[in-house]
Homo-oligomer: A and B are copies of this chain.
Amino acid sequence: EYANYFSRQKNTNIRLTLPVVCFVWQIAMIILFGVFIRYDEESDTHWVETKAHDNITSDIENDFYFRYPSFQDVHVMIFVGFGFLMTFLKRYSFGAVGFNFLIASFGLQWALLMQGWFHSLDPQTGKIFIGVESLINADFCVAGCLIAYGAVLGKVSPVQLLVMTLFGVTLFAVEEYIILNLLHARDAGGSMVIHTFGGYYGLTISWVLYRPNLHQSKRMQGSVYHSDIFAMIGTLFLWMFWPSFNSAITDHGDGQHRAVINTYLCLASTVLTTVAISSLSQKTGKLDMVHIQNSTLAGGVALGTAAEFMISPYGALIVGFFCGIISTMGYIFISPFLEKTLKIQDTCGIHNLHAMPGVIGGIVGAITAAAASESVYGKQGLINTFDFTGDFKDRTVLTQGGYQAAGMCVSIVFGVVGGAIVGSILKLPIWGDPADENCFDDEVYWEVREHPSHSGVQQPHDPQAARPVSPFSMLCLTISQN
């Protein structure tokens, strides 16, 4: 019986697939980088000549100094923020922070190539020139895939995650190209291109990979006291650095400045309404860590598009106000509904933290763009903010609002359709994913040295833990020891 419990019906041996995938893909990256990627003029030693040529008087004009502090904040969000946010499960923290590390490291390389091909391939040389803004964009692209990871956390193998990331980054680059370049929508903080796309991509994959018997790993679901505190590390670094996320690639000067102020205010407002709804949801007004860890961030997501606009400080507060309410109610009402009715098992609740607030963000962005006016922005300010130059110099704000809304739809479509296709690929029985009763358990893919009972996990497959020690056996042991 206990032996049975241990038997894993599924083969989770990834000793062949994982190393092969890692090696093949890393070698492919090296070759492709060799062919395509070069330093841009601000990171090349020829910068000294560029400066002279462009009459740049100071090294501080290098884009590096405008964007590097924001880049590092975004970098922390990707690796510590997303990684630790997902450590909340009692016994899947290695997988959370470790696989997050793996797929982000792969994804950012692939993103530099994909985004390069679509956005900055130099037609003359056939090369992609990268600088600090490329690194930020690569991190952004990876964020979409890490969001999707949140939906399937604990239920997939690292090989599946790498496949999911390969396709995710590819889809991301295409939808981003359509939304930002073809539709010329603005989305500096990625409400649409990152959060909506990533959210629906992950949810659809999770829907395809639905596990009707997931309750068999119920003992591993939920958090323990310490894992909730680890998760707060992720929450706080995401929350604190979100102003950098939304301002990292906005216009120099007032653009970055304003995006920071808006995001800072919006997130503060979200915290208060999250606490309010969380408290309302319990008989004695107790707070739920799940809400505090996640819904407090919804405001940052929802301001991803409009952060650089003149939404005004109180406008930012209002967006945060409603996002805290909606996201927390999502955890209370919508997540159970999704699981029961739509058969979507969403481990981290990314629907409430990314998908829904992302859609809100797209709508807020469309409305704010459509309502923009020269009296508020100034003539040149309006042109700068919406980049009404070149082919788009005659676009009106109303048209812009329409294209923003169209961008929103593109990101949803790409998420759902892409997720359905990729989900089908991941359903193939070759990826080493865990059996239902071994989900959310680090022991499947990690060497875990410690005996788990010390960490507060009830281990039904440990017969000694499942029932009290018989005094007779103890007597025998005692005698045998003395």
Contact = CB atoms under 8 A, between A and B. Distances in A.
Interface in A454-476: 454-456, 467-472, 474-475
Given A18-B285, A314-B34, A59 B105 contact: no
Given A49-B378, A93-B229, 19 more contacts: A15-B280, A19-B280, A22-B279, A39-B254, A45-B258, A45-B377, A47-B257, A48-B381, A62-B253, A72-B73, A72-B240, A101-B296, A105-B271, A131-B261, A226-B455, A229-B230, A451-B456, A470-B478, A471-B478
B131 A13 contact: no
A25 B289 CA distance: 22
A165 to B, nearest CB: 11
Contact of A39 (B72, B271, B310): B310
Interface string A133-145: 0010000000000
Interface stretch (A189-197, A209-217, A441-449): A441-449
Contacts of A19: 275-277, 279-280, 285
A106 B478 contact: no
Given A33-B317, A39-B313, A283 B15 contact: yes
A86 to B, nearest CB: 12
A268 B131 contact: no
B312 A454 contact: no
Contacts of A12: 284
A64 B260 contact: yes
A282 B15 contact: yes
B450 A223 contact: yes
Interface stretch (A76-84, A330-338, A389-397): A76-84
Contacts of A271: 101-102, 105-106
Interface stretch (A167-175, A231-239, A339-347, A418-426): A231-239
Contacts of A478: 467-468, 470-472
A208 B378 CA distance: 54
